[in-house]
Amino acid sequence: MSLKGMLIRFFLVYTVLVILLSVIIPKAHIVVLAGCTFWVCATFGKKNGRYFSEREKTIVVLSLIAIDLALQGIFGFIAISQKISQLDAVAQIAGLVFTFGLIGLIDGIIIYFIVGLVKKRLVKQGVISIADPTADVKSEFSLTRELSWTQNCWAFGFLFLILFSVFAWAVVQVFINKP
């Protein structure tokens, strides 16, 4: 199974389950996200007999976050577009942007830890081996570079959340204090 195939499988299953379960159980997207992430990562490890390298892990985590945020953004915009009026349009969009940033941060943390959890489980089951040359064998320079990249991604996420929080607060203040 390729990374592209894994990401397509995640997108299709996650989209269908979010649509179906949001009708039955509102706010169930975290459970669906965790389950789909665990399933596609475990399937990748079992079919290939190896797990992601550090570079692949970064690509997978960022791709899964992007897919999740795209779907959440589409569904959120559809939800507010049905109830939107001219007076509170900006406030609702600001709320959506704030929620989008917060959900992105929370979902990103969940995805990151589940991808790591799947690796530990596959090693414990004996499906993959740590001694595998494609599994986390890095030089010190490369490891430092990967950690720096990961830290930069998380820092960007926090900055994104803070900036959009300030933006949402400012927009709400403008419309609340409007004469």
Q: What is the dihedral of CA 56, 60, 66, 67, to 10 degrees?
A: 140
b (16+ CB within 10 A) / e for 35-58 = ebbeebbbbbbeebebbbbbeebb
Q: Is the dihedral of CA 18, 24, 27, 30 positive or negative?
A: negative
Tokens coding 65 = 């976050």
The reported pTM is 0.69
Per-residue pLDDT of the chain (179 residues; tens, 9 = 90+): 888 888 889 988 888 888 888 777 767 788 888 999 999 999 999 998 889 888 889 889 989 998 888 888 787 777 766 666 655 666 777 777 777 788 888 888 999 999 999 999 998 888 888 754 444 444 333 444 444 555 566 666 666 666 666 666 666 666 665 55
